[in-house]
Structure 1
Amino acid sequence: MKRSWRKISYQCFVLIFVSLFILFGCKGGTKEEQKDVIKVGILHSLSGTMSISETSLKDAELMAIEEINSKGGILGKKVVPIIEDGASDWPTFAEKAKKLIEKDKVATIFGCWTSASRKAVLPVVEKYNGLLWYPVQYEGFESSPNIFYTGASANQQIVPAVEWLISHGKKKFFLLGSDYVFPRTANKIIKAQLKAMGGTVVAEEYTPLGHTDYSTIVNKIKATKPDVVFNTLNGDSNVAFFKQLHAAGITPKDIPTISVSIAEEEIRGIGAEYMKGHYAVWNYFQSTDTPENKEFVQKFKNRYGQNRVTDDPIEAAYIQVYLWAKAVEKAGSTDIEKVKQAAKELEFKAPEGNVKIDGENQHLWKTVRIGVVMDDGQFKEIWNSGKPVKPDPYLKSYSWAKEISGQ
């Protein structure tokens, strides 16, 4: 009886020991494993009206992370992405950003597209001391200590585009945009610049994100006969607009458009036959002729399919992961303040050419490029700034911008 009791007691002891090991030992192991990884957030619209543009940014960021991990990671640690869907809804972006920072404890977030989503995330990263890397051109008039801006500011896209158009005799502008902060602010800039340069605005129209009926606006374009349509529509509204413009018989020879939110990825969704001959202004095209870009394009196609394309926001999303990684390596830490300090004046040989993080405002020095859409949906570059342009998000260097910048 004693032996039997001893046997049962021993079995109970072993069972309790194993249970405690599973309960506490595994947790300890997980914590040890967590010390060997750096978690980062990826926050883009993977559904809704903006998914046509943003899904590929997620792909580019994942590719950069895979490449970094294949070379040993950062500080000897593997980078682990946590992906969230902003769902083309600005409150959702704020909610997901808080979750990534507070619950997931990510070292940084790569994300957003629209200025509305960025502005929703901004107070979150500032309140909880997170770090956002934002890869899309925008209207400027912002400089948060918790955001790095790797797309163009207005003086690296909108302003030089207007200058180029005026120099080519395009003085009557039809302004068309989606109804949110970026297009409205962009058009304030354009109107102030045109006033100073002798141009005029024949009409200014806005439609909600996701809008699809452009018949009235197309008729207004016909009636006002502008020299150019300056297009700040975002998302899949561009598909409807350009198809309806084409159906109305308005060609680029009659009235060209110049866009600041349509790149190779959007042309893929719209159809090159509707876009041929129209213009766009960016800092990068898939056709940009650098050795780094040839390698980047090939890697992206090898990873995601030969039918895929690269474009400016895709490239900015890709390089911002490397810029963050370089800053972390230089800082020797993922600590936000140390990373920010290490990132100042950091340079990188990107597919678009040399870029540099401006130490004053955490924007990038970037080369400006204007291209025309060709038969294959690619851009032929027809003008560039010749060298990287210093970011001027508040347009302090332009006297005509005082009325909108509050200088």
Structure 2
Amino acid sequence: MQLNRRLFLAAAGTALASPYVSRSWAADDEIVIGSIFDGTGIFQPLGRPKANILKMAIDETNAGGGLLGKQVRLVHYDTQSSNQLYAQYAQSLIRTDKVDFVFGGVTSASREVIRPIFKRSGTPYFYNMAYEGGLCDGGTYITGITTPQILESLMPYLVKTFGKKAYIIGPDYNFGQISEQWIRQYARDNGCEVVGSELFPLDASNFTASLSKIQAAAPDFVIDSLVTPPQFSFYNQWATAGMKSRIGLASQTLGSFGQNLIMPPEVLEGVVVGIDYVQELDNPLNTALVKKYQETFGTGDYLGNLVEADYDGWLFFKAAVEKADTKDKADVVAALASGLELATPRGHVKLDPATHHCVMDVRVMDIRNAAYRVIETTSAVPPADLVGRCDLIAAPASNVQLGPKA
């Protein structure tokens, strides 16, 4: 598949309510879903296809007769990768559009802007992203994989394969900061020493000094949590400096939107990845999903785990409404907490009632000739960061961010 490189340039645009919106049904005969994503700006390579796949899932549902005989109306806002606009449009979804449920957010920073707004209004919120983990919030549902779920499988493999000295790199905001804490814990748990760590701003592009620090620290492997665009710069400079043959390199963020098809194959050759889903997974549900998306929106997007998670989020929401047999929020929330299990394009997934996170298969892969190769799969991995620490059945009003255990 040829990936459109223009998707990875910051796009200009005006933040408008999406043309997806239709107001042709009376309120009692519809279910109103809010969608709030980065359709333009620096994070548009993620936000735009996430909005697309949610729209596609809702269109499929409406074409099949809707939910409980009601049509689903989607109200979408493009935040232009601005957290200020996230806050503004979150308020609009509640006060003006009066949505029943919300799907949205890309970065952890954007999530933490809008999550309190939805919590205060009692609006259930789906954050369908891979993220740093640790969020115990009775009003939020997360279908993406967490850093601790990845590390449960990835860290033992890295120590076994490369050695017991690690160096951490990541972005300097809450995703990278909290991920670093989890990586340090899992390193300790696996007898691994962290010999260095650096976090970078989202506009970082020159890693010359960092490469020198890594060489001086002499780790056995580097574990990367970078996001685009710094990730592209780091990997290219890493390969140019000849580091690939000397130090192992692993990532918890590669595979999110087809970086393997954008960067030169030699740059990513042999890089190890911990992930739950890539577009290339060979199963009938995934084949059908990719085919439908490409027929609807073209072949320019890569359906990484950050995009597919919104499709899973919709599947869980749809199953909950059907189980509740009503659109009443309290009944749908109760159904979401009933232990729903579904076959999805990434495999068998359970929505854990106690944590509002998913139990899923986690794969350790490496990249060979620009393609993902499965090395090992761990089935039914729970959100290890929250099990035994977050009980939203007993305390549904909980709202805390839990870090690594002391």
The normalised TM-score by structure 1 is 0.85
Give the distance between the partners of 2:31 and 2:264, measured in 1 at CA.
Answer: 40
* Larger helix proportion of the pair: 1
CA deviation map 1:87-140 (0-9, x unaligned): 333333232222112211112111112211111222111101112111112222
Offset at residue 264 of structure 1 (A): 5.3
1:50 Cα deviation (Å)? 2.0
Q: 1:140 matched to which residue of 2?
A: 133
Distance 1:90 1:163 in 2: 36
Partner of residue 220 from structure 1, selected from 213, 218, 222? 213
Contact 2:132 2:148 in 1 (8 A): no
**2:150–2:252: 8 Å Cα contact kept in structure 1?**
yes
Rg (Cα) greater in structure: 1
2:87 counterpart residue number: 94
Q: Secondary structure at 2:224's aligned position in 1?
A: strand
Which of 304, 317, 325 aligns to 2:310? It is 317
Q: 356, 360, 363: which is aligned to 2:354?
A: 360
Contact 2:257–2:305 at 8 Å: present in 1 too? Answer: no
Alignment size in residue pairs: 370
Letter paired with 2:186: Q
Q: TM-score, normalised by structure 2?
A: 0.85
For residues 240 and 156 of structure 1, do their structure 2 counterparts lie closer, same or farther at Cα, with a shift above 3 Å needed? same
Matched, 1:170 2:163: yes
Mean alpha-carbon deviation: is it higher for 338-347 or for 51-60?
Answer: 51-60
Could you say which residue in structure 2 is the equivalent of 1:258? 250
- CA drift of 1:36 comes to 3.2
SS in 2 for 1:367: strand
1:72-97 per-residue CA deviation (whole Å, 9 max, x = no partner) reads 11121222222212333333323222
* Secondary structure at the counterpart of residue 205 of structure 2: coil
- Unmatched 5+ residue regions in structure 2? 1-22, 390-401
Partners of 1:298 and 1:230 lie apart in 2 by: 33
- 1:219-261 C-alpha deviation (Å, 9 max, x unpaired): 322333322111111232212211222222222x432321112
Matched-pair contact (CA < 8 Å) for 2:364–2:374? yes
Q: State whether residues 223 and 250 of structure 2, in contact with CA within 8 Å, keep that contact through their aligned partners in structure 1.
A: yes
Which one-letter code corresponds to 2:216 in the other structure? Answer: A
Deviation at 1:179, TM superposition (A): 0.4
Any residues of structure 2 matched to 1:7-406 within 5 Å, and which?
Answer: 33-251=26-244, 253-263=245-255, 265-267=257-259, 268-344=261-337, 345-375=339-369, 377-385=370-378, 387-394=379-386, 396=388, 404-405=403-404
Describe the shift of the 1:271–1:366 C-alpha distance in structure 2 as closer, same or farther (beyond 3 A).
same
1:86 partner amino acid: T
- The match for 1:3 is none
Let me know the Cα RMSD of the aligned residues.
2.2
Q: Quick one: which amino acid aligns to residue 350 of structure 1?
A: T
SS of the residue corresponding to residue 381 of structure 2 reads coil
Q: Which has the higher mean CA deviation after the structures are superposed, 332-341 or 64-73? A: 332-341
Q: Distance in 1 between matches of 2:300 and 2:41?
A: 23
After TM superposition, the structure 1 stretch with the greater mean CA deviation from structure 2, 91-100 or 201-210, is 91-100
Between the aligned residues of both structures, percent identity stands at 27
- Aligned with 2:137: secondary structure? coil
Report if the CA contact (8 A) 1:228-1:256 is conserved: yes
TM-superposed deviation, 1:266? 4.2
Distance 1:379 1:272, change over 3 A: same
Which SS does the other structure have where 1:230 is aligned? strand
Distance 1:206 1:272, change over 3 A: same
